[in-house]
Amino acid sequence: MTDLQSILPEEKGGMHPIIIAGPCSAETEEQVLSTARELARNGVKIFRAGIWKPRTKPGGFEGVGREGLPWLAKVKEETGMLTATEVATRQHVEDALAAGVDILWIGARTSANPFAMQEIADALQEAGKDVPVLVKNPVNPDLELWIGALQRLYNAGIHRLGAIHRGFSAYGKHLYRNMPQWHIPIELRRRFPNLTLVCDPSHIGGKRELVAPLSQQALDMGFDGLIIESHCDPDCAWSDKAQQVTPEVLNFILNTLVLRDATVTTESLTLLRQQIDELDNELLEVLNKRMRVSREIGQYKKEHRMPVLQIGRHDEIMQSRARLAEEMGMSGEFMRNVLSAIHEESVRQQIEIFNDRTR
Ligand SMILES: C=C(O[C@@H]1C=C(C(=O)O)C=C[C@H]1O)C(=O)O
């Protein structure tokens, strides 16, 4: 994906951050229009609303379907906002494009399904329209699957592409509805720096109170925009009521966000970055030394027919280092993650020695 382009038309290209807002679902013409009017009054330029809703279980509100498309056209005509909706099948693509929807997005259940993605890519290619498409991360934390979904669209000629980070499913109850796992969108950005990256704090948080802090976190990490669910009467919403905010609250949130300027040069950071470089070198040397000692231990275990994994010792290391880290003001969890990665490699190297017939 070497020729990625802006998802916005030229006159709106400078928008930073890109704000996309609107209800989870289009419910009635009145709900769509009154939400849209208020959002437009507050300066929002891109309106979102789900027309087709993939629900986890049958029996829930599955969207109004095609009937809602003319409502989006009215929003555009009346407010001048661009409109965006989710598509999951060839038919959705054809209907949405025929109705003049400006931006399409692909949901997390669809981006996890290569057959569905290919069908959508084919439909877009056949339609031959230069429509921007945003791809939500798949429900499962699989970066390659996310990239694969984007590549299918890119190969079908869609170069105005973006990615939406909406968090990842996890079993059980947690603070977040979907785990942010920020390292995944960060890795996506590292691999495709020109890909527009938008955060969906509504689906990550699942609760109104989390929308503002998650939005700020996304901006602090250099995301290009936010897609936020906003409903004129959230408590009466037909879907996702807990995570929708009124246009008024949205406006308040947007006004409190601290914008980050990516164009500030990093020159003044040079000296500090030199220190980081030196420290990383030291870290690498220490790690290398540790692996050498571990291999020696591996050799000893081989000669004495001992098992590689010594869970008691590993546990003792984890606990004592996590405690030490906390005493030093670092997070114990962070230290456990680091040690767990080191242990995995250390065990792998010992197994290599076990399997080496020349030793
Ligand atoms: C290094 C050893 O082998 C394994 C690796 C460990 C480590 O790298 O921290 C700890 C325990 C073992 O599972 C050891 O037994 O001491």
Ligand 1 pocket test, pick from 315, 350, 352 with the greatest ligand atom count within 8 Å of Cβ, gives 350
CATH number reported for the structural domain that contains residue 20 in this entry: 3.20.20.70
Ligand 1 pocket test, pick from 343, 345, 348, 349 with the greatest ligand atom count within 8 Å of Cβ, gives 343
Asked whether residue 74 is domain-assigned, the answer is yes
Q: How far is the CA of 290 from the centre of ligand 1 (A)?
A: 10
Domain match, 232 and 317 both: no
**Cα–Cα distance measured from residue 356 to residue 359, given in angstroms and rounded to the nearest whole number:** 6
Asked whether residue 1 is domain-assigned, the answer is no
Domain match, 34 and 182 both: yes
**Cα–Cα distance measured from residue 215 to residue 228, given in angstroms and rounded to the nearest whole number:** 9
Domain match, 199 and 284 both: no
SS3 helix, strand, coil % of the chain, rounded to 5? 55, 10, 35
Among the three residues 193, 222, 256, which one is the final residue of a domain in this structure? 256
For ligand 1, whether the C-beta of 294 sits within 6 Å is yes
The proportion of the chain whose per-residue pLDDT surpasses 90, expressed as a percent, equals 91
Q: How far is the CA of 288 from the centre of ligand 1 (A)?
A: 15
Asked whether residue 2 is domain-assigned, the answer is no
Q: pLDDT category, 286, cuts 50, 70, 90? A: very high
Domain limits for position 345: 267-355
Domain match, 243 and 277 both: no
Domain match, 209 and 300 both: no
Domain match, 252 and 274 both: no
**Which pLDDT value is given to residue 13?**
65
For ligand 1, whether the C-beta of 330 sits within 6 Å is no
Domain match, 296 and 336 both: yes
For ligand 1, whether the C-beta of 298 sits within 6 Å is no
Contact status, residue 298 vs residue 309, Cβ threshold 8 Å? no
Domain match, 110 and 218 both: yes
Angle at CA of residue 137, ends 22 and 201, nearest 5°: 40
Mean local confidence (pLDDT), 289-306: 98
pTM across the whole model:
0.85
**Which pLDDT value is given to residue 208?**
97
> In this predicted model, what pLDDT tens digit does every residue of 27-71 receive, in sequence order?
999 999 999 999 999 999 999 999 999 888 888 899 999 999 999
The CA-atom distances, in angstroms, between 346 and each of 308, 350, 353 are 10, 6, 11
pLDDT exceeds cutoff 70 at 317: yes
Which tokens is 293 given? 């000692």
Contact status, residue 292 vs residue 298, Cβ threshold 8 Å? no
**Which pLDDT value is given to residue 134?**
98
Give the 3-state secondary structure of residue 134: strand
Domain match, 87 and 229 both: yes
pLDDT exceeds cutoff 80 at 11: no
Atom of ligand 1 nearest to the CA of 294: 1
**Which pLDDT value is given to residue 263?**
76
Domain match, 190 and 111 both: yes
pLDDT exceeds cutoff 70 at 309: yes
pLDDT exceeds cutoff 90 at 9: no
pLDDT exceeds cutoff 80 at 332: yes
Among the three residues 232, 256, 280, which one is the final residue of a domain in this structure? 256
Atom of ligand 1 nearest to the CA of 293: 1
Looking at the 3D structure of the chain, how many domains does it have? 2
Q: What is the mean pLDDT of the chain?
A: 96
Mean local confidence (pLDDT), 123-147: 97
Helices then strands, counting H and E runs in the chain, come out as 13, 8
The closest of 264, 247, 175 to 214, measured between CA atoms, is 175
For ligand 1, whether the C-beta of 317 sits within 6 Å is yes
For ligand 1, whether the C-beta of 347 sits within 6 Å is yes
> In this predicted model, what pLDDT tens digit does every residue of 62-100 receive, in sequence order?
999 999 999 999 999 999 999 999 999 999 999 999 999
